[in-house]
Structure 1
Amino acid sequence: MSSQPSFSTSNSEAMSSEENATAFAEQEEIHIPIEDDHDSAYGGDDAVSDTTSVAESIWKHRYENGRRYHKYREGAYWGPNDDAQNDQLDIGHHMMRLMLDDRLHLAPIEDPQRVLDVGCGTGIWSIDFADEHPSSEVIGTDLSPIQPAFVPPNVKFEVDDCTQPWMYPQNHFDLVHIRCLYGSVSDWPALYRQAYDHIKPGGWIHQLETSIQFKSDDDSFPPNSALLEWSDLFISTTEKFGKTMRVIDSMKRWITDAGFEHVREVRYKVPVGPWSSDPKLKELGKWNLLYCYHGCEGWAMFLLTNVLGWKPEEVQVLLAKFKNALKDRKTHAYYEMSVVYGRKPETASS
């Protein structure tokens, strides 16, 4: 392990079988089994390049409504970068590994040597990948320098905006990994074109995104559900922000349009809370409840105060309603996550 990550500023397992219990691709009829438990709630809140090369301004943060945000290209991303939100990101990483049967990706890639993790957040995916592939070189990029100090020697982190021109060589990466950048990119086709240009022929793109549209297969939402209100509110707010949270609905088509071949999509239903009788989905639901419960303020505060002009007190009222709805065991809510991966043709040239 090296004692310090490298930061710089720049512009820039083969897929498991379809029997995966939670995956579905064009199989909307699959329903999540429900545990026979009539408790009305889940319980209390517990249920729920060298550093010296970085410009000083990069290390600064801005503070707003009690939360800390990135300073570099401030306002480009709505999420906080403080410890509370970073813990929530790591909870999400664990949940997504559980969903993928303890895998980091589904792309059938062998012996990847150069890997780019776009929007790496806390760097936890980059670090896990580097540990599993010690011969690889992994670069993680993010707007915030929030990654840990002690990392594997084959990982480095760069402060970068992925929507700006990439300064890496073309035809360079074996794998470009993207995860949970919904609401962060104004021109997704342009991002995919950049990825295509910088992935070497035969290399792969892999993206995991989540929907914020809560659903239920058994119509168990109560009247005026706060979960449905949440979905509608943030879908419309991010459209106004100019960075859609509905990338899950279009990313397969956009990735295909960028020139990738053998593009595959696998969708998962992710329960909110441990209401399923299926053991794996029950465990997944526990982590998702924690993920949503502790992440919702960070998801909401910037967007509602800056885009819609709400007062922080109004946001807190919405959050209280949302958290109560999350803990309602009678509501068998879930949302979808999608994995899309594709290969750059062997004969391709940028």
Structure 2
Amino acid sequence: MQLSHGREIHLDLRNSKYRNDTFSVDSSITQYRIENGRRYHAYKDGIYWAPNDDKQNENLDISHHKYLLLLEGNLTAAPIEKDIERVLDIGTGTGIWAIDFADEHPNTTVIGTDLSPIQPDVVPPNLRFEIDDVRDRWTYPVDYFDFIHMRALFGSIDDWDAVYGQVYKHLKPGGYFEQVEISIYIKSDDGSLQEGNPFLKFTRMFEEAGEITGQTFKIAEIMKEKIERAGFVNVVEKVFKAPMGGWPADPKLREIGQWTLLGFLSGLEGYALATLTRVLQWSVDEVHVFLAQVRQAVRDRSLHSYHEIRIVYAQKPQ
């Protein structure tokens, strides 16, 4: 499957021997949890709810292409300069955003951090990956990064105010921070999404799970306010509709909807399995029966559903 810049989705992402100033990847970090047929991160086991196996990594790369479509081919919404010095990509996942950014900015040092060493070995020379938990105290110098990027960390952070405080502390004065998050709420503007639809139940379960764990899945709706409260200025929020399927008449929205549906279906089991079994105490069989109902609902062409993708970017005062 062809993605941006001619890249293809890689289904056989390899573990890499990354090093940072603290430690190198050892066997304990790659002794992943295998649960219900899916693979999960070992470092800080259980903090993040989605698998890190090839199937879910394909979903991340599909989503990356969807974000590029939303931003008309751009990697950021923030008006950053071309030749900035240092960039941090938090929760880099497969590293696809960091790789693209490093390619486009060869004079910029790019760092991608994640709980899992799932990124490819061959990367631009100005890019490195580190194993890190954004919730821990950062060891980078104060006022260090020109740009900090964060995407799709919903459901994985228990203290967003602390995270934004660290972002603010380690960003250079005048530097930009950008966060991209998906709203879990499925909507329709024409009333085609009725009460009782499995989609609505799917949404409410993640809302409930976030309340139980203290790691909200609803950060998309509140991040702008929290970022402003952290002291950032020039805060801009952009809200995009991501249709669920190719039902829109508008060609651009139709293409975004097709990629959104592809990503949703490819990632659905990974989205739900750990959260429903670990947090809501569902059986594996119950999860699979319910997900079959969700798949049937999402393929209903009479359902004109969508969810929102919100992007907030802001600047540290000079």
Determine the structure 2 residue equivalent to 1:226.
198
Other structure's SS at 1:108 match: coil
Determine the structure 1 residue equivalent to 2:64.
93
2:34 to 44, 55, 63: 63
Provide the C-alpha distance between the structure 1 equivalents of 2:280 and 2:222, rounded to a whole number of angstroms: 26
1:279 to 244, 247, 251: 251
AA of the residue aligned to 1:62? R
Q: Is the 8 A contact 2:17 2:25 kept in 1?
A: no
Determine the structure 1 residue equivalent to 2:207.
235
AA of the residue aligned to 2:19? S
AA of the residue aligned to 2:317? P
In the superposition, the TM-score normalised over structure 2's length comes to 0.93
The answer for unaligned runs of 5 or more in structure 1 is: 12-48
> Does residue 290 in structure 1 map to residue 262 in structure 2?
yes
Q: Is the 8 A contact 2:16 2:118 kept in 1?
A: no
Determine the structure 2 residue equivalent to 1:131.
103
Q: Is the 8 A contact 1:175 1:203 kept in 2?
A: yes
> Does residue 112 in structure 1 map to residue 84 in structure 2?
yes
Provide the C-alpha distance between the structure 1 equivalents of 2:168 and 2:264, rounded to a whole number of angstroms: 33
1:334 Cα deviation from its structure 2 partner: 0.3
Determine the structure 2 residue equivalent to 1:301.
273
Determine the structure 1 residue equivalent to 2:135.
163
Other structure's SS at 1:336 match: strand
Gap change, CA 1:193 and 1:253, over 3 Å in 2: same
Provide the C-alpha distance between the structure 1 equivalents of 2:291 and 2:303, rounded to a whole number of angstroms: 17
Provide the C-alpha distance between the structure 2 equivalents of 1:8 and 1:94, rounded to a whole number of angstroms: 28
Tell me: higher relative CO, structure 1 or 2? Use CA pairs within 8 A at least 6 residues apart: 1
Other structure's SS at 1:63 match: strand
1:150 to 109, 117, 122: 122
1:271 Cα deviation from its structure 2 partner: 0.2
For residues 92-142 of structure 1, give each alpha carbon's deviation from its aligned partner in whole angstroms, at most 9, with x where no partner exists.
000011011111111111122200000000000000000010000000000
Provide the C-alpha distance between the structure 1 equivalents of 2:228 and 2:145, rounded to a whole number of angstroms: 18
In the superposition, the TM-score normalised over structure 1's length comes to 0.84
Other structure's SS at 2:181 match: strand
Other structure's SS at 1:269 match: strand
Q: Is the 8 A contact 1:163 1:185 kept in 2?
A: yes
AA of the residue aligned to 1:207? Q
2:161 to 189, 192, 197: 189
Other structure's SS at 1:215 match: coil
Other structure's SS at 1:102 match: coil
Gap change, CA 1:257 and 1:6, over 3 Å in 2: farther
Provide the C-alpha distance between the structure 1 equivalents of 2:184 and 2:160, rounded to a whole number of angstroms: 18
> Does residue 201 in structure 1 map to residue 173 in structure 2?
yes
Deviates more, 1:79-88 or 1:58-67: 58-67
Other structure's SS at 2:202 match: helix
- Point out 4+ residue stretches in structure 1 off by more than 4 angstroms: none
For residues 204-230 of structure 1, give each alpha carbon's deviation from its aligned partner in whole angstroms, at most 9, with x where no partner exists.
100000101000000002451111111
Provide the C-alpha distance between the structure 2 equivalents of 1:297 and 1:9, rounded to a whole number of angstroms: 33
1:6 Cα deviation from its structure 2 partner: 6.2
Other structure's SS at 2:192 match: coil
AA of the residue aligned to 1:156? R
Q: Is the 8 A contact 1:186 1:243 kept in 2?
A: yes
Q: Is the 8 A contact 1:6 1:157 kept in 2?
A: no
Q: Is the 8 A contact 1:210 1:248 kept in 2?
A: yes
Please identify the structure whose Cα radius of gyration is greater. Answer: 1
Other structure's SS at 1:156 match: strand
Gap change, CA 1:79 and 1:10, over 3 Å in 2: farther
1:10 Cα deviation from its structure 2 partner: 6.8
Q: Is the 8 A contact 2:92 2:113 kept in 1?
A: yes
Q: Name the % identity.
A: 50
Determine the structure 2 residue equivalent to 1:122.
94
Q: Is the 8 A contact 1:6 1:156 kept in 2?
A: no
AA of the residue aligned to 1:261? V
Q: Is the 8 A contact 2:246 2:258 kept in 1?
A: yes
1:9 Cα deviation from its structure 2 partner: 5.6
Provide the C-alpha distance between the structure 2 equivalents of 1:271 and 1:64, rounded to a whole number of angstroms: 32
1:176 Cα deviation from its structure 2 partner: 0.4
Q: Is the 8 A contact 2:237 2:310 kept in 1?
A: yes
AA of the residue aligned to 1:81? N
For residues 244-292 of structure 1, give each alpha carbon's deviation from its aligned partner in whole angstroms, at most 9, with x where no partner exists.
0100111111111111100010101110000000000000000000011
Provide the C-alpha distance between the structure 1 equivalents of 2:247 and 2:138, rounded to a whole number of angstroms: 44
Other structure's SS at 1:250 match: helix
The answer for unaligned runs of 5 or more in structure 2 is: 1-14
Other structure's SS at 1:287 match: helix
1:237 Cα deviation from its structure 2 partner: 1.3
Provide the C-alpha distance between the structure 2 equivalents of 1:315 and 1:229, rounded to a whole number of angstroms: 12
